[in-house]
Structure formats: C-alpha cells, structure tokens
Amino acid sequence: MNGTRRLRELLRGTAIAPTLGVHDVFTARLAQAGGLEMLFLGGFGVAASTLGLPDVGLLTLTEMAEAVRRTCQAVTIPVVADGDTGHGDLQNVVRTVREFEQAGAAGLLLEDQVHPKRCGHFQGKEVIPADEMVLKLKTALAARKDPDFAIFARTDARAREGIDGAIRRAKLYADAGADVLFIEAPQSLAELQRIPREVDRPLLVNMLTGGVTPILTVEELGKLGYRIAVCPIETLLVAGRAVQRLIHALQTTGRGDLPADEMMTFAEVKEALGVKEWLGLRGGTKE
C-alpha cells in the first residue's frame, strides 16, 4: 500500500495519530523505527537543518521538494510535507503540489499567510483574504494526480482575527474540499476544546514546546476530537541540546564519549542506517 492510501486509512480511523515534525532524514528513519505511523516534514526544521536559517520564507520550493524526496525515499510510512503558502500565487501552488507529489509525499499542508510566511508561533503574521485561500485550495485539489493525495488547510488567522475568525476560515476551507483542517496557535484550553466541536473535518493540532498553545497529551487531544497531533520541532530542540552537551563535554573534559544514556551506540546508528543490508549487496558481512 502506498503512502497516500495509508494516510487515508489513518484519517478514516477513529484513533488519533501522534507524529513528529522531523528535521532530517536520519531523524525520519529513527521515527519510523520507533513505531510512528506517519511523519510531518516541516519548513522550520528543514530550514534550520539544511540552511541554518529561520522559518521566515527563506526556504525555496526546490529546496523543500528535495528534502521531501530524500525523506520519502528513506521511509515507507506516509510523509506530510509543509507547502507553506504554496510558494507564491496559484501557478506556484500547482507546481508545489506536483513537486511534492512526485517527490513521494502523501499529503501537503497549505497555509493562508501572506508570502513570505513566518513560523506560526512568531509575532507579526499576516493572512491573505479567505476567498484567496479558497482559490488556492481549489487549485491545489485540482492539481493533484492521485485523488488520495491529501490537502491539509492551515489557517494562521487566530493571531489576526481571533478564534472566531480562525474557525470561520476553517469552515470555508472545509467547504472548499480540504481533507484536513489545522488552526494554528490556539491560545487556551477552551479554544482547543471549541475547535473540534465546530469544525467538521479531520483536525491536525500542533503541540509546539514553548509556543502559545497549551500542551496536552495525545490521549487528551484524541478525546477532544483531533485526529493528528504533531510535535513540530521537538526533534530539532532535542538534537540541539544534545549537541550542546557534547560540545561542553569536549571543551571541559577533553572527551566526546558521553554517558550511555545520552548517546546512541555506534552499533545502533549502523542498524538505523541499514549498514548490514547495504554491505550484503556485495556479499560482505564486516562492518
């Protein structure tokens, strides 16, 4: 079963799917090996890991599509890719959908921010008129070749129009045919509770550490009615802190071999990368 059909099965189910926003291919392989059923490839993590730059619209479509391609080639579970604003106008939306679909993504997330966008939990966001976003969504839906390729509609209107405006937009995007709805950055438990009551579509929710949205458990979010719970940049946060600890240890002790509970073993890394399988192509067994 291909990624798009597997994602559709997840969306048709009753259980919430927990997932991570992976920031590179190695992390994606670890997430799959750890039992996650789907992955999210976000622009924040990709911009940070490939460019060392913030998520303020600097990542190009070509760069993101290549990251999608590398990730999808390395895993077999569905990957939903961050399409930002579609990287421009309607023509750009068409190309974004086709590039991501060809790269192997199971779905694409499209947002209603003004281009160039900002991270959803940054200040100073602006949104396009709702009718323009509806046109983008309809264009994206028409551009896909595989009808199972899922279009996720994200609205950042909470920061500009309040929760009422954000829910109003989500309903419009659902009427336009979006497969999954995502209201970014609700600011209270009451808002998290209200969204599933009023938006009749599968819902994605972002659990960003340090963001404006209260953090709930996956179980709690599932009971509220959400279908996908994403920890969007936590792999980047964890990896960054681990590297900082390694640097500190090297500078203070002169050693890079951290305690066993703070590092993967070399054997574990080789297993995650499939070293035995690759060496086996030549009949070799040594590693």
Q: Give residue-wise pLDDT tens across range 189-216.
A: 999 999 999 999 999 999 999 999 999 9
- Prediction pTM value: 0.92
Architecture of domain 3-239: Alpha-Beta Barrel (3.20)
pLDDT (0 to 100) of residue 116: 64
User: Residue 178 above 80 pLDDT?
Assistant: yes
The string of DSSP letters for 201-258 reads: S-EEEE--TTSSSPP--HHHHHHHT-SEEEE-SHHHHHHHHHHHHHHHHHHHHS----
- Indicate the pLDDT class of residue 73, thresholds 50, 70 and 90: very high
Strand 107-111 and strand 17-22: pairing? unpaired
In 40-89, which residue ranges form alpha helices assigned H by DSSP? 43-46, 61-74
Q: C-alpha dihedral over 272, 278, 284, 287, to 10 degrees?
A: -30
pLDDT of residue 55: 85
Tokens of 228: 């996908």
Give the residue-averaged pLDDT of 117-146: 85
* First-to-final CA distance of the chain: 33
pLDDT in tens, 49-67: 999 999 888 899 999 999 9
pLDDT level of residue 118 (50, 70, 90 thresholds)? low
Written as six digits, the tokens of 240 are 């960054």
Hey, where are the domains in the chain?
A: 3-239, 260-287
The one-character DSSP state at 114 is P
Residue 287 pLDDT greater than 80, yes or no: no
b/e burial code for range 96-120 (CB count within 10 A of at least 16 → b): bbebbbebbbbbbbbbbbeeebbbb
Mean pLDDT of 231-246: 96
CA 269 to chain centre: 24
Find the mean pLDDT for residues 124-133: 88
What would the mean pLDDT of 237-261 be, rounded to a whole number? 95
Supply the pLDDT for residue 67: 97
Mean pLDDT of 12-31: 95
pLDDT at 224 over 70: yes
Residue 120 has pLDDT above 60, yes or no: no
pLDDT digits (tens, 9 = 90+) for 265-281: 999 999 999 999 888 88
Quote the pLDDT of residue 96: 97
Q: pLDDT band for 109, please (50, 70, 90 cuts).
A: very high
pLDDT computed for residue 122 by the predictor: 57
